[in-house]
Amino acid sequence: MSPGGKLRRKKNATMKVGCLSYNREGNRTMLAPAQMTMSAARSFVESGLAEINVDPSVLAQHLSIIKNGMRRLSDDPEAQQFFPYTVLKKDAMGWDEDAGYWCKRGSETKDYYHHCPEHVWDLESDLSRSFLPFLESCTNLTFWAWGNVRKLLRDIDAEYGLDIGRYFDNEYMVTRIVRYRKLLASIKEDALPHFDRDGITHHIWASHPGLMMYRDGTVHPVEETAWDRIAMFPGKKFLALVKGAHGDHGLHGARDAREMTNGDDRIAIITFTHCSLPPYALQWLQENDDRLKALADTYKL
């Protein structure tokens, strides 16, 4: 592991993943969570998608910083060395909880940076420290997303008489800034059909349309370019917590409808919120993971 890959806490700073007590340098302002009604909880559970109106000023504060930071990072191999891909730990399924920069080529052509607020990078050079506003914006959006997810979970528990929100407390949470390389892509799909590994995916924004939800043989495009709308859908761990009682929801992919020779890369911002798995949920996921993968494959072009 490189020197930049250590997981450590900053002195004089309180940091806790998945918890609103997060406070960096003592002067951070919490972004207010979105207003949402119980119908969002019902839509999420029963159809696998909740699209929610949010205050556009939240994204307006951070979007250009994040876009420009991601372009700089993905174009500069020297900068990438400051954010080495780092596995923080394995979850109960043996899946990686990670942070850092990753460049993927092949069936999917994308570069992404995983921002885990608890993971602190060692930034000592001027170049590395020039990314501090980018990191701070990533942190702000991550905890804003957590506020929205926490509200949704409270509503789900209340509406369905469940007690699953507690499994998300203090668990791994990561925001992915992803850049799909159009000119390098060999297939039409930015992301092949799949279920996310997390509990709840909080899709914040994308520069161009592409996100598709797949359900019962149909394809449902999601509005993701607006600044005043986010989408939340279940990952496999949520399905496990409810033992798939409402259907195999959350299957999705990304199909960019533009010509493949259009070099305007698609950039997206997504926060993944994970949860712990009580024994019954771990067992359900172990028994159903292969079936879910096979189901996703049926939607490939």
Site of interaction with Fe ion (CB under 5 A): 196
Question: By C-beta, is 93 or 127 nearer to Fe ion?
Answer: 93
Please name every residue paired with 205 in a beta bridge, in sequence order, or none if there are none: 269
Task: Please state the closest distance from residue 141 (CB atom) to Fe ion, in A.
Answer: 17
CB of 138 to Fe ion, least distance (A): 18
* Rounded least distance, CB 194 to Fe ion, Å: 6
Q: Supply the minimum distance, in Å, between the C-beta of residue 123 and Fe ion.
A: 29
148, 151, 155, 161 alpha-carbon torsion, rounded to 10°: 120
Q: Which is nearer to Fe ion, 155 or 265 (CB)?
A: 265
Which one, of 94, 87, 144, lies nearest residue 114 by Cα?
A: 87
**Shortest CB 48 distance to Fe ion, Å:** 13
Q: Smaller CB distance to Fe ion: residue 189 or 265?
A: 189
Nearest distance in Å: CB 216, Fe ion: 19
Place of tokens 């390098």: 184
Residue with Cβ nearer Fe ion (33 or 210)? 210
Question: Residue 237 in 3-state DSSP?
Answer: helix
- Residue least distant from Fe ion (Cβ): 196
> Is the Cβ of residue 121 or residue 238 nearer to Fe ion in the bound state?
238
Residue 54 or 213: the one with the smaller Cβ distance to Fe ion is 213
Instruction: Give the contacts of 279 (CB within 8 A, at least 6 positions apart).
Output: none
**Nearer to Fe ion (CB atom), residue 165 or residue 235:** 235
What are the tokens at 82?
């400051």
Residue 165: partners with Cβ closer than 8 Å, 6 or more residues away: 150, 153, 154, 156, 157
Distance CA 53, CA 46 (A): 19
User: Least Å distance between CB 224 and Fe ion?
Assistant: 12
